Amino acid sequence: MDKTISSKLINSNNHVNTYIELYREYLSERTEKSYLKFQNIIECSDEIRINIEDINDDDKSLLDAMSNHYTDYLFELVRFITIENQCPEAFYQKLFDQIFCSGIINLSEREYGLLLMLLANNIKGLPYYQANSPVVVSDAKAEEIISEIRPFIRKAMYMADDRFEFTTQLSSQIIDILNQIDTREKKAVLLAILIGAIRNRAIGGTGIAEDDNS
């Protein structure tokens, strides 16, 4: 983490101006390595919390307008890039290129600084919302895997059906079960079934074990 960027954000008494300055200093020239500074700004932003009451009315109005115009787009862009992301560096490079270099968004220096502020603080999950080679399994392949690992699925489902007082007890057992399965694809199928069952119970299902019809 860049200590200079972190210090500027943590010690700032005007975050609007700070993000504009960060954009001007580190991103405006669009160098080959600008995306690394972009990554540092996003990651360092996780350490701060901006009080909207500290922003003057003019900046607040512009931020609101930009938020209404760009937040949904930025969120979908992050989600889209995440799907096939291989590593954090590639994630930030694609995101930086799309926002600042593609020509899709054309803004003034000040507006780019505000957009950077919105991206760093309004898009929930950054800098942690990054996939790493997500597993996609067809229905036919999933059925094949389920047949093969059915005993592990049943064990995991019953373990999760309120068998333990503490969630760490459950999670330790799930880890042990996963360690007995030989491929990432098979592990992903088991976890998908387990997560789906837990979600179903959270919205009113009758119980995880009872939902297992496999």
In tens, the pLDDT along 82-134 reads 777 767 788 889 999 999 999 899 999 999 999 999 888 877 666 555 566 77
Using the structure block, give the residue that is written with the tokens 């780019």: 112
d(CA 21, CA 166): 48
Q: How far apart are CA 171 and CA 164, in angstroms?
A: 10
Residues of the chain with pLDDT under 50: 205-214
What is the spatial distance between Cα 170 and Cα 149, in angstroms, rounded to a whole number? 19
Cα angle for residues 209, 213, 214 (degrees, 5° grid) = 110
